[in-house]
Chain A
């Protein structure tokens, strides 16, 4: 027996030399618990090594980019890098009003930024905080070479806005590369002339409204998918498998069809000269000049997204309903419950896990939807994702886009955590 290799899986167990109280040893003389622990460790490592390549891949192609985006939401070095002298002075004198020295440094920086062609970026950065100051920077930079001391007066003469304390507050904030100002902006807060955090004027509070609209529309869509999904999931779950597998195609075909195809179909159906309006006119429900505007507004977004997300509600509902034993409802009926009572008190409570799973999934997917609102939402059906895309592609205020995206991501991750707690990611099923 001395030739036995040190196999941790070896099940042959012996006691140490007949000693009654000694530790149990494996056949090659090691304590059993140690050998088992080692074997367990090795098995854990082997399992982990299988997952490791993918984990590294996802860390590089997914977690890192998102981390970088989060960083971008609180880090914007445009001003501090391109206007180094005035930034250093502003940081060194956090509470002092600008002095002649500061004015001189500012003019130096303006000259250099113009030479390096970065003045446009600097002007844009301050313009985020104080709208209408873009030309203040670009025009003063053009004149900077001719400005003579005393610089304070020269600057004011070049442009009266240099006396505006809001401009100086904005520069003071922008002098710090790390800032929470973009997150504040994304929540409709700003800084007043004194640097204190205040709410923006009511007519400029757009992001709060947009978050609210995203939330409300997502709830409406979730509710609609539940109302539409529940009856057909119930039907599918109670039909013999032969028929339900056939009817399941109606749910799965949309699920497998391109998102853009489905969105296009809704444009075709709902537009003013589209199929639905044609049918309504033909039926005489509306006159030809009363055609309904159902697309390129909130209605379009809600209808198309309900259609697109419906399978995500039906599938979890169906898999829960399949497991419900019909004898409970029958028992309730035999005890005198009406069919409505039996449904409400016996059947419905058993479907709650499915409702929860479907509703959470649909809601999570709805709050971040981009393509469908962008194509059929018009201006009133845009969601928060569309605003992020707008700031990324049109206004080029990337830090604000990143700040909005961070807030959205935070919300989605909370919902995702909730989903994992209540439903479990393992229970996610496809088709």
Chain B
């Protein structure tokens, strides 16, 4: 954003100030996320930089909190047998169990949300769809309605239907919360979709199923994948519904973090947070690559 050549000295000065302000806001956005990464390698059980860390003394850093993630909840953390030690981790470590639960719930709710959401988005983007606006409003509303209201409603509903404390209940709830993201991303890729392509396929003798898989699917795939990623992240980060309807022993990563922050806050939380930040960087990269692919497919040049 270059200044025009006719800018006055005052405008030049303001431009500098403006850039500094923008840099400060970007710092405000990103610093809180990056600050936890070095702190998670703290050798002391503190949430703040020690003198040793600031002087970059290796003694100030350690992997002890990452080790805690594995050993917390183990039966015998001092077992010398490597194989038995890892088996113990896999079967008993609290954070590992939470991760397993989160992944199982996230996987199935994403699958459900993506399949139902994609099919519905195909219908919604057809020009002849009746009551389009109302139905769209209903399907997007899980994103808008405060999560505490959803959780309260589900608590009453599940205790009546016996879904409380079951994996199915959480998966259904998380799928509902993920659906708006799938609808939004898939309908966005379908905007400007040329419907004569499907008609061309049909006129060449393709069945509706063939048309869908060979013509529509490749075009909307970037939207479907980014919608699925959004749905997965939504489930993977959701804690309120889990707190309200899950059984006591159904721990997930966010629930474990929630308990950790409220009760015995330790830098182990920061180690988990760091891992989650790394995961979100990977997801963001995937989304960005998908977006570029989508633009390339549709002939939009950056």
Contacts and interface: CB of A to CB of B under 8 A. Distances in A.
A429 to B, nearest CB: 7
Contact of A250 (B30, B116, B117, B270): B30
Contacts of B47: 267-268, 271, 273-274
B33 A50 contact: no
A72 interface: yes
Interface stretch (A83-91, A168-176, A227-235): A227-235
Interface residues of B, number: 97
B123 A51 contact: yes
Contacts of B21: 231
Contact of B128 (A40, A238, A266): A40
Interface string B117-161: 101101110101110010111111110111111101111111010
What is the predominant secondary structure among interface residues of chain B facing chain A?
helix
B26 A247 contact: yes
B22 A232 contact: yes
A405 B148 contact: yes
A109 B130 CA distance: 55
Nearest to B131: A48
Interface in A247-299: 247, 249-254, 256-269, 271, 273-275, 278
B284 A253 contact: yes
Interface stretch (A142-150, A155-163, A369-377): A369-377
Contacts of A398: 156
A330 B6 CA distance: 11
Nearest to B187: A426
B161 to A, nearest CB: 9
Interface stretch (B57-65, B73-81, B90-98, B168-176): B168-176
Interface of B: 1, 4, 6-7, 11, 14, 18-19, 21-22, 25-26, 28-33, 35-36, 39, 46-49, 116-117, 119-120, 122-124, 126, 128-130, 133, 135-142, 144-150, 152-158, 160, 172-173, 175-176, 179, 181, 184-185, 187-188, 226, 230, 233, 236-237, 239-240, 244, 254, 257-258, 261-262, 265, 269-270, 273, 276-277, 280-281, 283-284, 287-288, 291, 302
Given A57-B116, A389-B148, A416-B137, A50 B123 contact: yes
A425 B139 CA distance: 10
A64 B153 CA distance: 8
A316 to B, nearest CB: 13
Contacts of A72: 156
Nearest to A43: B128
B32 A307 contact: yes
Interface string A372-403: 00010000000001001100100000100110
Q: Which 8 A-B pairs have the closest CB atoms?
A: A368-B146, A50-B123, A65-B153, A65-B157, A54-B120, A265-B32, A51-B123, A69-B153
Contacts of A370: 146-148, 240
Given A265-B33, A268-B35, A278-B49, A66 B280 contact: no
A6 interface: no
Contacts of A64: 157
B237 A253 contact: no
Nearest to A271: B47
Contacts of A402: 152, 156
Interface of A: 40, 43-44, 46-51, 53-55, 57-58, 61-69, 72, 228, 231-232, 235, 238-239, 241-242, 245, 247, 249-254, 256-269, 271, 273-275, 278, 307, 310-311, 330, 333, 339, 364-365, 367-371, 375, 385, 388-389, 392, 398, 401-402, 405, 408-409, 412, 416, 419-420, 425-426, 428-431
5 contacts: A50-B124, A54-B139, A232-B22, A264-B273, A416-B141
Given A278-B48, A408-B146, A425 B120 contact: no
A264 B261 contact: yes
A54 B117 contact: yes
Contacts of B281: 253
Contacts of A267: 47, 261, 265
B284 A254 contact: no
A430 B148 contact: no
A430 B184 contact: yes
Contacts of A264: 36, 257, 261, 269-270, 273
B254 A258 contact: yes
A98 to B, nearest CB: 34
A371 B240 contact: yes
A324 to B, nearest CB: 13
A231 B284 contact: no
B140 A428 contact: yes
Nearest to A56: B116
